[in-house]
Each structure stands twice: as C-alpha cells, then as structure tokens.
Amino acid sequence: MTRILRLPSIGALLTATALGSGALNAAEINIIIEEVPDYDVVKALADDFMAENPDIKVTFDAMPFDAMRDKILTSSLAPSATYDVIIVDNPWMEEFAHAGYLAPLDDMIAATEGYDYADFIHALSRIGVVDGVTYGVPYYNYALGLIVRQDIFDERGLSVPTTIDDYVATVKGLTGNDFYGAAMQPQKGYKIMEEWKNWLYANGGELFDAEGNIIINDDAAVRALEQYIDTYNTAAPPNSLNWGFDEALRAVASGKAATMLSYNWMLPTLNKEGGIAGDLAGKFTLHEVPGGKAVLGLWSWSVTANANDKEAAWKFVS
C-alpha cells in the first residue's frame, strides 16, 4: 500500500512559524479584578483585544473584593510584580500613589493617538489624579440606587419611596410572615459605610463641612444612624448583622426581601433570564435613592510601578 504524506504549503509553514515565534515572545500582563458581573464583560473584551494584539497575553486573577487589597499590597512590595494592571477603588487611590505603587500615566496618555482623556466626566477622572499626576483612568462607577420588587409594590398599590422617612415606613409595612422589607449590608467596614451614607445624605448630612472639618457627629448623622438601626431591627432579616452585598443580593433574589439600597449593577444580575433570581427575573426595578443623593464610588485602571511591561499594560488599559 502506498501512503501519501500530505505536507502543508510553504506559506502555511511560514505562518505557523511566525505565530509560534510571536507566542513565545508575547508580553504577558496579569490583571487583578473584582469578581462581579462587570468582570465578565471585561473578560470578553480582553479576548477581542488579544485577537487584535497577538503579541500581548492577558490573564486575570478575579476574586472577591475583600481579598484584593492584601494581594495588591503584596504584589506592589515585591521586586517583580504579580499584577501589571490593577483596578483601584477610590479610597485607595491617594494611599497607593503616595506609597509609590502606581506608575504615572500622563506621558502614556499624551502619546496615545486618539485617546482623549477629557472625554471622561471630570468628577470621576480627577479621582485618579494625585498631586497633579494621573495614576488612574476611570473604569467603572458603582452608583447606589434603590432596587425594588416592582410586582409586590404594584400588587399592594405602593409608590416607590422618595424620602428616607417614607422608605422606613414602607419597608416596615412590607415585613411579616418570614418576608422582609429590606435586605441590608451592615457588615463592619466599608459595606455598612457605603449603605449608611445614603441615609446620611437623605437627612441632609455630610461627612465634612466646606472647610474639610469632620462633622459626622452632627444632628443629621445621629438621626440617620438611629433610622438605620431602627430599620435593621424592624425590617431586615434576623441574624443578618454581618451581611455584605452578596448576602443581601441572595435574599432579594430568593424572594425573601422586597428592597435593597445597593449597587446599580445588581439590577441586570437580578433580571437576567436563567440567572440567580430564577422565576423572579424581570420583576426588579431600579430607582433613585430616597432623598435623591446617592453614594458614588469609582474603580480606576492603574498600571503598577513594578509592572513587567508597562507599555503592554497601558496598551490594554487605553
């Protein structure tokens, strides 16, 4: 029997060799990111980026928020970075910049054709500027809002509350028979702070006055705290004092609670067909925080000061 050996064309061999060579010499950038729904979007976009830039390989280390900070600090203090690109929560920006963990971006921004930094809303982009130097560019803002089970409100003829007093009364009235008006996140640390500050703003309070003096112990703050505690005691699931947003989200998704003051990205998570809310998907709506002034946070993209390839890292960010 005669065997016919089919050889690839010279063009195919050259192409394979070129691709193999490129893969061997590819820059690798590793990114730490919070494991929430926006990560899924970024991951898909990263696949497109790598298809257009075969000389750059992008890998992600996605994890819960509470694990991120320690890993970023460990990477930043090492001679060679574990992470070349990090997302920086707005409370971290000045600290990380002053500690020397972040690479200045101004020259890279200026050298990138077609990249108009002024396109970003100034209130957000200025968060990434420390002492006149740009260390981060906006990635994702996490505004808080009031998420409600609209079907329950409609069935009971309830209006969505527009003041914090109305909200407290409404969620108390919805509580009963192992069902609760509010799923809250009173866990110690940033979670309770980001939730409670909405109550503070609704009462006309602020953390600081115009001169930068701390006024967190004024009448508005005391009233907001008393309302917050009262709402937890009368309208939140029992034994939820250590809940963060994950537990609150599950309570609403499972049909155990009617509302939560939480992050805007939870709305599509709840309404996704076949998602965590099951048959309740599509029954949730998002509204302004009662009082009309919400907490607004921001994640920024930053390149680490000890990144192995800052140019490749910036190319991904830009």
Identify the H or E element spanning 28.
strand 27-34
pLDDT at 2: 38
For every residue of 250-296, DSSP letters joined together read HHHHTTSEEEEEEETTHHHHHHSTTSTTGGGTT-EEEEPPTTS---E
pLDDT at 145: 95
pLDDT at 230: 97
Reported CATH class of domain 163-291: alpha beta
Q: What are phi and psi of 107, to 5 degrees?
A: -65, -40
Distance (Å, whole) CA 291 – CA 164 = 6
pLDDT at 37: 82
Best CA proximity match to 240, nearest among 193, 186, 190: 186
pLDDT at 25 over 60: yes
Distance (Å, whole) CA 131 – CA 98 = 9
Mean of the pLDDT values across residues 239-251?
95
pLDDT at 18 over 60: no
Terminal-to-terminal C-alpha distance of the chain:
59
Quote the mean pLDDT of the chain: 91
pLDDT at 5: 35
Which residues of the chain are in CATH 3.40.190.10 domains?
27-141+298-317, 163-291
pLDDT at 265 over 90: no
Q: What is the pLDDT of residues 266-314, one digit of tens each?
A: 999 999 999 999 999 999 999 999 999 998 889 999 999 999 999 999 9
pTM over 0.85: no
Look at the block and give the residue holding tokens 């947003």.
245
Find out whether 317 and 301 touch, Cβ atoms under 8 Å: yes
Question: Which of 4-13, 21-30, 148-157, 294-303 shows the lowest mean pLDDT across its residues?
Answer: 4-13
Find out whether 214 and 220 touch, Cβ atoms under 8 Å: no
User: How remote is the C-alpha of 131 from its chain's centroid?
Assistant: 25
> Which CATH code fits 27-141+298-317?
3.40.190.10
* Collapsed DSSP state (helix, strand, coil) of residue 210: coil
pLDDT at 135 over 80: yes
Query: In sequence order, which residues have a C-beta less than 8 Å from that of residue 176 and are 6 or more positions away?
Result: none
